[in-house]
Amino acid sequence: MTEIMNSIASLRLRIPEALYQKARSMLSEAGNSYFLSGSCGWTQIEGLQGGEVVACVHTLTDRVTSYGETSADDLVPWANIRKQERSSWLIVFHLVTDSERGIESSFAQKSLANGYAPILEVGVSPDGEVSGTYFSEGALMPIDSILITGSDIIFWARATLESATVNADQTKRFEQSFGSKTRRLLSLLRIGIVGVSGTGSPVAEMLYRLGVGELVLVDDDHVETKNLGRIYNSSTMDAQEGRLKVDVMGDAFERNGLPTRVRRIVGTTHERSVVSELAQCDILFGCMDTHSGRALLNRLATFYLIPYFDLGVNLKADGQGGVTGISGAVHYLKPGGSSLLGRKAILQDNIAAEDLKRINPDMYMQQKEEKYITGVVEEQPAVITVNTMIASIALNDFLARLHPYRRTKNSEISCIRMDLREPVIHCEEDGPIDAGLARWVGRGDVEPLLKMPVLAE
């Protein structure tokens, strides 16, 4: 695993809901004279201004420590050893009052003064708000944003939206519904969309018009004539030229001229570089057909503490012009909860078959002909109205978690199912924790990446 870059342009912190609540509870009970320590995994990429680092809290101790018991001299060398041996950063949580906000604490200052491994320091206010510091290039710096990943998506950011980048008339109607605070939060989020075809193109279109800060579009496929009825902004010329789907969407957004930044990535989630880019996203939307791709994205969201919305549509035709089923589902997966496999939204046999098809197509065809592989649907029918409806459900679920407005608690909704033959929409609660994934919550970059041999360096 590589070392943290010397020049850190930005550092964002992610905390699982359970550990955030644990820190608040233990510190509130103990009082101002105590702190709580833990460990973070991390990931980084080289940005235009320097290293872009994301730290993910994965462990907290089970007891608070008095400032009198442990000095910064004791903690900082231990942090250095921890970082070298476990590829983890030490993080320290402590209570702050309104009068103490903005005051640099002894741990961060000592870490800076002695040149030890950096300590991430987070202050928790009585009302639950958090802010923190780290050091870079000899200076103590504020953490740029802190994301709490849970049933509710809680996001604090140091940056404020520059008024010059937003047209008030463009955002007025949205602010009337969700408020200026939610609009500002959206403008600071980096959201990844994997698959920009059937459900992915309406998701991208709506997020763009909601004013998110940055969209990361991931797809390696080209537009074909058969896609034109379900990909927003596509044209017959795009199909004739076989243009990349990410370019069709990206070019359309550029023509529209709204301030959202758009990053186009031609690739799949089975590539290291794509995993590294998606790990930097604050939110993920999975709009893929393959069980293998959906399983990997679920795994990625776990390692890097990213809220993950998975969209699926199921249309069944009888081959004679009739429809036997029109349904869809939006799964919300928080790191440390249940998984798509546990919910039976995807199947292990299909994952294995799709992996074989990708790695060894000849063997896949042979096993399929010999009936060793069954049940894998090569291509399903698609209708833009159904895709758009599922995309709208997913986006409204996302907004409800960022800005809770539903009568039902977000903790009671993990899947929203739609069946248009009834018609009916119903919600389901989360299932049992996926123990196999739970051990990797917040571990960040490891080798091999995501603990998958196919992503080995």
Residues 239 and 206 placed together within one structural domain of the fold: yes
Domain boundary among 87, 117, 149: 149
Rounded CA separation 383/391 (Å): 12
- Give the pLDDT confidence score for residue 68 in this predicted structure: 63
Domain that holds residue 218: 164-455
Confidence of residue 149 (pLDDT cuts 50, 70, 90): very high
pLDDT tier, 457 (very low <50, low <70, confident <90, very high otherwise): confident
Give the pLDDT mean for 30-40.
Answer: 86
Report how far residue 381's alpha carbon sits from residue 286's, in angstroms, rounded to the nearest whole number.
Answer: 19
- Convert 407-446 to b/e letters by CB count within 10 Å (16 or more is b): eeebeebbbbbbebeeeeeeeeebeeebeebeebbbbbbe
**pLDDT > 50? residue 85:** no
Of 87, 119, 149, the one marking the end of a domain is 149
- Does residue 158 belong to any structural domain of this protein? no
Burial grade of 285 (CB within 10 A; 0-12, 13-18, 19 or more): buried
User: Is 83 in the same domain as 168?
Assistant: no
pLDDT band at 350 (very low <50, low <70, confident <90, very high): confident
pLDDT at 208 over 50: yes
pLDDT of residue 118: 59
Give domain status of residue 222, yes or no. yes
Beta bridge partners, 59, equal 39
* Residue 216 domain-assigned (yes or no): yes
Residue ranges of alpha helices (H) inside 87-194 are 106-114, 168-188
Q: Which of 40, 25, 58 is nearest to 128 (CA)?
A: 25
Top mean pLDDT of 34-38, 137-141, 239-243 is at: 239-243
DSSP class of 3: P
Place of tokens 């995309």: 391
In sequence order, what are the residues at sequence separation of 6 or more whose Cβ sits closer than 8 angstroms to the Cβ of residue 96?
A: 103, 123, 124, 125
| pLDDT, tens digit (0-9, with 9 covering 90-100), for 99-125 | 554 444 555 555 545 555 557 889 999
Which range has the worst mean pLDDT, 132-146, 253-267, 331-345, 390-404?
132-146
Q: How far is CA 45 from CA 49, 171, 278, in A?
A: 11, 32, 11
Is 326 a domain residue? yes
The answer to whether residue 271 sits within a structural domain is yes
| For residue 86, pLDDT beyond 80 | no
Residue 39, strand partner residues: 59, 90
Cβ distance 113 to 106 under 8 Å? no
**Which pair of structure tokens corresponds to residue 250?**
């990206």
pLDDT over 50 (residue 286): yes
Residues 195 and 70 placed together within one structural domain of the fold: no
93 Cβ neighbours under 8 A, 6+ residues apart: 23, 27, 35, 36, 37, 38, 60, 122, 123, 124
Dihedrals φ, ψ of 214, to 5°? -150, 135
> H or E element: which one contains 194?
strand 190-194
Give the dihedral of Cα atoms 276, 281, 282, 288; nearest 10 deg.
-100
Q: Is 426 helix (H, G, I), strand (E, B) or coil?
A: strand
pTM of the complete model: 0.90
Range scoring the smallest mean pLDDT among 67-76, 108-117, 329-338: 108-117
Final residue before a domain boundary, out of 100, 122, 149: 149
> Bigger pLDDT: 433 or 321?
433
Q: Quick one: 206 and 333 in the same domain?
A: yes
- Regarding whether 212 and 72 lie in a shared domain, the answer is no
The verdict on 183 and 324 lying in the same domain is yes
CA distance 16 to 175: 29
> Does 102 share its domain with 181?
no
Q: Going edge to edge, which strands form the sheet with 214-218?
A: 261-265, 214-218, 190-194, 283-286, 308-317, 323-333, 415-419, 424-428
Stretch (H or E) spanning 396: helix 384-402
Q: Is residue 3 part of a domain?
A: no
Mean confidence (pLDDT) of the chain: 84
- 58 phi/psi in degrees, rounded to 5: -120, -15
Q: What pLDDT sits at residue 6?
A: 59
Say which DSSP state 163 is in: G
Q: How confident is the model at residue 274 (pLDDT cuts 50, 70, 90)?
A: very high
What integer pLDDT is reported at residue 31 of this predicted model? 83
Say whether both 195 and 135 belong to one domain. no
CATH of the domain at 110: 3.40.140
CATH number at residue 256: 3.40.50.720
**Residue 335 maps to a domain:** yes
Pair 145, 170 in one domain: no
Instruction: Determine the average pLDDT of the residues in 155-183.
Output: 62
For residue 105, what is the DSSP state?
P
- Number of domains, the chain: 2
Amino acid found at 43: T
For residue 315, what are its two tokens? 């249309």
Q: Is residue 155 part of a domain?
A: no
Same domain, 139 and 200: no
**Range name among 94-103, 167-176, 239-248, 338-347 with the lowest pLDDT average:** 167-176
Which residues, in sequence order, are CB contacts of 210 under 8 Å at separation 6+?
A: 174, 186, 395
The reported pLDDT for the residue numbered 175 is 54
Does 7 score more than 80 pLDDT? no
pLDDT in tens, 386-417: 999 999 999 999 999 999 999 999 999 999 99
The answer to whether residues 239 and 121 belong to one domain is no
